[in-house]
Structure 1
Amino acid sequence: MNKFKDIGLMNKEKLLQIFDYLNERLRENQMQLEITIYDGSIMTMVYDNRPATRDIDCVFSETNFKLLDNILELTKFAFNLTDGWINEEIKEPLKSILKEDKETYRVYSNLKILKPKAEQLLAMKVLAARPEPAKDFVDAYILCKDLNITTKEKLLDICSGYIYLTLIGERQRKFIEYLGEDLGYDWK
């Protein structure tokens, strides 16, 4: 029995099954789609940081949205997903990003999945700096380790490529300070 089925969580395996299913429905409808995934979906699929995610934070390329909505409803039904399983609210924070730096994550016959590079994702996590239960801090820690960031200067240099440093307020400053402390550095 799938332990994620009843509570609406999607683990890496289920996410990949959903993308396979989406690709098949797109193929049947002779439709091509490009989707960029963010946040929990990436941390679950790419970094194996989370056992599961509640939604797929994403942005779709320009497409036939009436047909896509139908395909998404079929997917929701087929996988017994909760309302809000597709979350396009990421569009709002993306307005603060200076540039998108995407790379291909996976290519199917009719579906292409993109993701932001780790540097962009880290800058987005620092800017968001949400308190628990959001996973921004844990995600930023993993991304710093992955990118071998050992100084506050290097972190801020990366961030400045994606966000205006003037957007960093007290919450983000504390976030960075605690991040450095957890990594074993003094970033005051």
Structure 2
Amino acid sequence: MPLKNLTKQEIAAALQRLSELAQAEGVRLEITLYGGAVMLLAYDARDVTKDVDAIVHPPEVGRRLVARVAVERGLAESWLNDDVKLYISTKEAKNEMVLPGVSPAGLHITRPTAKYLLAMKVMACRKPLPGYAGDYGDIETLLRVTRCKSVAAIQDIVDTFFPDTVLPDATKVTLDGILERIRHEAG
């Protein structure tokens, strides 16, 4: 089944079912959500996301139960995937995440801190394309949440999680434009 955009309610219902399945098997999955799902669920920064980027432990049980949820709920096989694992920092910083309607009995959910997610989004800094929003809107939201005011401050945040990473000049120009828009809107 092809990917379809997921709403907050659809994600919560799928995660609730995942919790139920895990509990029925006597396990409690540890799941860290990333990317668009966090922007949607934690910051209300968008209406939908194409998938749920997540790391699930234990991975074998998690993959099996995620696949079952996909079949039961008519979701794409990759509705929840761990593609984000390539971009995870060894210096992760996470917060607990409680989702209304999702029982913690079978799931323990965490998410990156706003600064860590900002660093990840800045590292990707993907441009909007037709049919794809890119990272600019998410970066703007996270800059507002973190109250970050300069490219130098953003670089400091990136350095916290991805040491020795120098932001490309094109990324700095993009960030400067986003910061200018925030300053302009603030008056």
Q: State if a TM-score over 0.5 links the two structures.
A: yes
SS where residue 78 of structure 2 aligns? Answer: coil
Question: Unaligned stretches of 5+ in structure 2?
Answer: none
Q: Which residue of 2 aligns with 1:18?
A: 14
Tell me, in whole angstroms, the C-alpha distance in 1 between the residues paired with 2:168 and 2:52: 28
1:164 aligns to 2:158 (yes or no): no
Q: How many residues align?
A: 176
Pick closer, same or farther for the CA change 1:88–1:79 going to 2, 3 Å. same
1:91 aligns to 2:92 (yes or no): no
Residue in structure 2 matching 1:104, options 96, 103, 122: 96
Equivalence map 1:32-181=2 (5 Å): 32-61=28-57, 63=58, 65=60, 67-94=61-88, 97-106=89-98, 108-132=104-128, 133-181=132-180
Does the 8 Å CA contact 1:129/1:136 hold for their aligned counterparts?
Answer: yes
Question: Unaligned stretches of 5+ in structure 1?
Answer: 1-5
1:38-59 superposed Cα distances (whole Å, 9 cap, x missing partner) = 0000011011111111111011
Does the 8 Å CA contact 2:56/2:62 hold for their aligned counterparts?
Answer: no
Does the 8 Å CA contact 2:30/2:109 hold for their aligned counterparts?
Answer: yes
AA aligned to 1:162 is F
Cα distance, 1:134 vs. partner? 4.2
Q: TM-score, normalised by structure 1?
A: 0.85
Cα distance, 1:10 vs. partner? 1.3
Cα distance, 1:158 vs. partner? 2.0
Over the residues paired in the alignment, what is the CA RMSD in angstroms? 2.0
Cα distance, 1:165 vs. partner? 5.0
Tell me, in whole angstroms, the C-alpha distance in 2 between the residues paired with 1:124 and 1:152: 15
Which sits farther off after the overlay, 124-133 or 33-42? 124-133
Which sits farther off after the overlay, 155-164 or 113-122? 155-164
Q: TM-score, normalised by structure 2?
A: 0.85
Tell me, in whole angstroms, the C-alpha distance in 2 between the residues paired with 1:128 and 1:108: 31
